[in-house]
Amino acid sequence: MYLSTYIVFRWPSVIVIENLDNLSVKSSKIDQDLSSPFGKNLISLASSITSKIHKVIILATATDADAIISAIRSPKMFSKEIELPVPSARERYDILSALLRGVKTSLDVNQIHEISLSTHGFVGADLKGLVIQGFQKAVERCKNEKMDSQCLTNINLQFSDLLSSLKIVKPSAVKSILVDVPNVSSENTEPY
């Protein structure tokens, strides 16, 4: 099946494999490299394509790269490995600011900062989902407050909309453990 696809499309080609960690999982024993039939076939196919033709790119995504069998992660199979870490609070602030740019909202800089601090483990897609869910909450709020069509054309995203959306939208990168050191000084703490 894979070879016939290659023959039809010829080169240059990009082969995209999503969630590779779910397709070629290490066995529970000591890393038996070629434990899955899919892993064997993938390695065989990729070796034949990439060794003969240099205009084929194989792009694979994974959420847990350590779960992939080592033969597939070898430099012969994939020449580069790029890790996209979970955004820090500052990066989440930048992502939220970009998502809210050009949007009618009553959020100020401090409120966006507060949301970014309370969204540990959120990646860009999660933050986008949070903003979309916030707009859905704003539409519901608008419908409950006034039932005119002008309300729906002038929806204003509020801080409370995003806060209530935090109860619904969950972070996708909770598996990774990050330690954010709180920005607290001795002046901000009270003695016992």
Amino acid identity of residue 23, one-letter, is L
93 shares its domain with 171: yes
Same domain flag for 61 and 100:
no
Give 19 or 26, the one with higher predicted confidence. Answer: 19
Shared domain check, 93 and 62: no
Measured from the Cβ of residue 37, the count of other Cβ atoms closer than 10 Å reads: 9
Same domain, yes or no: 34 and 96:
no
**Do 51 and 93 have their domain in common?**
no
In a domain, 80, yes or no: no
Q: Give domain status of residue 10, yes or no.
A: yes
Averaged pLDDT, 128-144: 90
- In this structure, the answer to whether residues 63 and 109 fall within a common structural domain is no
DSSP letter for each residue of 149-185: HHHHHT--B-HHHHHHHTTT---S-TTS---PPP---
Residue 162 near residue 131, CB atoms below 8 Å: yes
CATH number of the domain enclosing 139 = 1.10.8.60
Tell me how far apart the alpha carbons of residues 157 and 78 are, in angstroms, rounded to a whole number. 44
Q: What is the pLDDT of residues 145-190, one digit of tens each?
A: 766 666 667 788 899 999 999 999 999 876 545 566 666 666 666 6
The answer to whether residue 56 sits within a structural domain is yes
Which residue range is the domain that position 138 belongs to? 89-176
* 93 and 149 fall within a common domain: yes
Rounded Cα distance, 51 and 53, in Å: 6
What pLDDT was estimated at residue 82? 83
Which is it for the CA torsion 182, 185, 186, 191, positive or negative?
negative
Is 152 contained in some domain? Answer: yes
Same domain, 164 and 109: yes
Count of domains observed in the chain: 2
User: Torsion-angle region of residue 81: left (phi > 0), alpha (psi -120 to 50) or beta?
Assistant: beta
Q: Is residue 155 part of a domain?
A: yes
Cβ distance 152 to 165 under 8 Å? no
- Give pLDDT tens digits for 46-105: 766 655 556 777 788 887 777 777 777 777 777 788 888 889 999 999 999 999 998 888
The verdict on 48 and 114 lying in the same domain is no
Residue among 70, 93, 97 at smallest CA distance from 81? 70
Q: Are residues 167 and 116 located together in one domain of the fold?
A: yes
Are residues 159 and 104 part of one domain? yes
Q: Is residue 138 part of a domain?
A: yes
Q: Is residue 72 part of a domain?
A: no
- The answer to whether position 55 is within a domain reads yes
Q: Which of 141, 146, 171, 147 is nearest to 159 (CA)?
A: 141
Total-model pTM: 0.63
Identify whether residues 130 and 160 lie together within a single domain: yes
pLDDT at 30: 43
| pLDDT (0 to 100) of residue 58 | 79
Give me the pLDDT at residue 97, please: 95
> Which of 99, 66, 101, 94 has the alpha carbon at shortest distance from 81?
66
